[in-house]
């Protein structure tokens, strides 16, 4: 099996860190670059976190580019220390990175990699979609160079997590998300419906902490704060698996069990619907005509072994 080139765009972030670790542990793909965007923390801190975590895994060959400081419209809403800590990675201390960030920005890194791996490059995004939208703006032919795009974001039947209807990655830059979802490429959307449906538990965190390996141990450490945040959601200390699930689906380690291909549009109005991912799922209930232009696979379910798969791979690092 030839490892497929994959670019990862993120707002590193506790669950982004888990997704990064999952990618580093995945023989199916070759992580050829990472770009950061402001979300859970600002894009500069996110790049710093990313370099430090890659270094913890023993790698020093993956370029990390700083991306957009804020969304297309308005300004960055700021970090979320109660969820991801003041440094984005749960306030844990990790060794300073020995390497600098890449000389080019994230949008240009995407374009450089797409041209180098024309027709082969896979994109994974687990933050606001500002960098992907900017790359599309700079090179509208980008979809012809890219194999597919996987996005953690949105909510299909679920309610939102930053407004009644908006999920954070989409709601923090709805215009960018609208551009990316409208572009002509194969998209897999991994929304809250499925990422909230599975959890990592305290015994999983203990296994990470006891792994004896630097990166899994750091993940176990940072999950402490994340588990505190999710106490209110689940009634126990555990966490949702947003970004690592998207990584696993992008890589093919987890194959969705329910994922219709439907039309999806993003609400960019400035009313209460702003940031909603409107997924046309009427076909589930009605003899509704097929949607010939649909190019977005919306993941609604994955199997019960989902958390066990994620944990096993994180422990293999
Ligand atoms: C998404 O928002 C971020 O806080 C998480 O890292 C995840 O990508 C969940 O809504
Ligand atoms: Ca994220």
Q: Kindly tell me if the per-residue pLDDT of 130 is higher than 70.
A: yes
Query: Exposed, middle or buried by CB within 10 Å (0-12, 13-18, 19+), for 8?
Result: buried
Write the residue with the smallest CA distance to atom 8 of ligand 1.
Answer: 126
Percent of the chain with pLDDT over 90: 96
- Angle between the N-to-C axes of helices 242-251 and 14-24, in degrees from 0 to 180, rounded to the nearest 10: 20
Query: Exposed, middle or buried by CB within 10 Å (0-12, 13-18, 19+), for 150?
Result: buried
Would you say 256 and 268 are in contact if contact means Cβ atoms under 8 Å apart? no
Instruction: Give the pLDDT score at 126.
Output: 99
Question: What value does the mean pLDDT take over residues 280-304?
Answer: 87
Atom of ligand 1 nearest to the CA of 152: 8
Write the residue with the smallest CA distance to atom 10 of ligand 1.
Answer: 168
Atom of ligand 1 nearest to the CA of 16: 6
Residue 287 pLDDT level (bands cut at 50, 70, 90) = low
pLDDT tens-place string over residues 192-238: 999 999 999 999 999 999 999 999 999 999 999 999 999 999 999 99
- Residue 242 annotated as catalytic: yes
Query: How far does residue 287's CA lie from ligand 1's centre (Å)?
Result: 34
Instruction: Give the pLDDT score at 291.
Output: 86
List the one residue out of 14, 126, 11 whose CA is nearest residue 66. 11
Q: Kindly tell me if the per-residue pLDDT of 146 is higher than 70.
A: yes
* Buried b or exposed e, range 10-48, using 16+ CB within 10 angstroms: bbbbbbbbbbbbbbbbbeebbbbbbbbbbbbbbbebbbb
> The pTM is what?
0.98
Instruction: Give the pLDDT score at 283.
Output: 84
pLDDT tens-place string over residues 83-105: 999 999 999 999 999 999 999 99
Would you say 219 and 17 are in contact if contact means Cβ atoms under 8 Å apart? yes
Q: Average per-residue pLDDT in the chain? A: 97
Q: How far apart are alpha carbons 301 and 281 in whole angstroms?
A: 14
Q: How far apart are alpha carbons 97 and 84 in whole angstroms?
A: 20
- Residue 48 annotated as catalytic: no
Active-site residue identified among 84, 117, 198, 242: 242
Residue 305 pLDDT level (bands cut at 50, 70, 90) = very high
For residue 164, CA distances in Å to 58, 134, 154, 158 come to 42, 27, 12, 9
Would you say 151 and 279 are in contact if contact means Cβ atoms under 8 Å apart? no
Q: Please report, for the chain, how many H helices and E strands are present, in that order.
A: 13, 12
Residues within 6 Å of ligand 1 by CB: 13, 15-16, 39-40, 126, 152, 161, 167-169, 242-243
Under DSSP, the state recorded for 282 is G
Query: How far does residue 203's CA lie from ligand 1's centre (Å)?
Result: 23
pLDDT tens-place string over residues 29-84: 999 999 999 999 999 999 999 999 999 999 999 999 999 999 999 999 999 999 99
The Cβ of residue 61 has, within 10 Å, a number of other Cβ atoms equal to: 8
Ramachandran assignment for 90, one of left (phi > 0), alpha (psi -120 to 50 degrees), beta (any other): left
Pairing, β 29-36 against β 64-66: parallel
Instruction: Give the pLDDT score at 76.
Output: 98
Q: Kindly tell me if the per-residue pLDDT of 286 is higher than 80.
A: no
Write the residue with the smallest CA distance to atom 4 of ligand 1.
Answer: 40
Query: How far does residue 144's CA lie from ligand 1's centre (Å)?
Result: 28
pLDDT tens-place string over residues 115-126: 999 999 999 999
Where helices occur in the chain by DSSP H, the ranges are 14-24, 43-56, 81-84, 106-116, 130-138, 142-145, 168-171, 174-182, 192-195, 202-209, 214-234, 242-251, 306-315
Q: Kindly tell me if the per-residue pLDDT of 1 is higher than 80.
A: no
Q: How far apart are alpha carbons 116 and 112 in whole angstroms?
A: 6
59 contacts: CB under 8 Å, gap ≥ 6? 24
72 contacts: CB under 8 Å, gap ≥ 6? 130, 133, 173, 175, 176
Would you say 162 and 128 are in contact if contact means Cβ atoms under 8 Å apart? no
Instruction: Give the pLDDT score at 290.
Output: 74
Query: How far does residue 12's CA lie from ligand 1's centre (Å)?
Result: 9
């Amino acid at each position: 099996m030839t490892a497929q080139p994959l670019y990862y765009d993120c707002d590193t972030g506790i669950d982004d860190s888990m997704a990064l670790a999952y990618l580093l542990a995945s023989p199916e793909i070759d992580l050829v670059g990472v770009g950061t965007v402001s979300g859970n923390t600002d894009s500069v801190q996110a790049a710093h976190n990313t370099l430090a975590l890659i270094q913890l895994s023993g790698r020093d060959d993956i370029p990390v580019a700083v991306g957009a400081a804020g969304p297309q419209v308005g300004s960055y809403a700021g970090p979320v220390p109660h969820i991801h800590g003041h440094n984005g990675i749960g306030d844990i201390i990790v060794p300073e990175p020995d390497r600098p960030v890449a000389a080019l920005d994230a949008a240009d890194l995407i374009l450089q990699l797409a041209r180098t791996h024309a027709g082969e490059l896979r994109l994974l995004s687990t933050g606001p979609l500002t960098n992907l939208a900017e790359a599309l703006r700079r090179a509208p032919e980008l979809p012809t160079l890219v194999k597919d795009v996987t996005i953690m974001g949105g909510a299909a039947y679920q309610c939102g997590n930053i407004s009644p209807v908006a999920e954070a990655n989409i709601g923090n830059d709805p215009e960018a998300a609208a551009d990316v979802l409208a572009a002509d490429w194969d998209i897999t959307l991994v929304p809250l419906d499925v990422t909230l449906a599975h959890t990592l538990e305290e015994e999983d965190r203990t296994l990470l902490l006891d792994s004896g390996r630097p990166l899994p141990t750091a993940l176990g450490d940072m999950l402490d704060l994340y588990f505190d945040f999710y106490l209110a959601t689940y009634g126990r200390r555990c966490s949702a698996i947003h970004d690592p699930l998207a990584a696993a689906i992008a890589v093919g380690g987890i194959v969705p069990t329910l994922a219709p291909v439907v039309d999806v549009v993003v609400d960019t109005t400035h009313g209460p619907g702003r940031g909603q991912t409107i997924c046309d799922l009427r076909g589930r209930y009605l003899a509704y005509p097929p949607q010939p232009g649909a190019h977005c696979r919306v993941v609604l379910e994955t199997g019960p072994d989902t958390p066990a798969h994620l944990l096993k791979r994180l422990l293999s690092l």
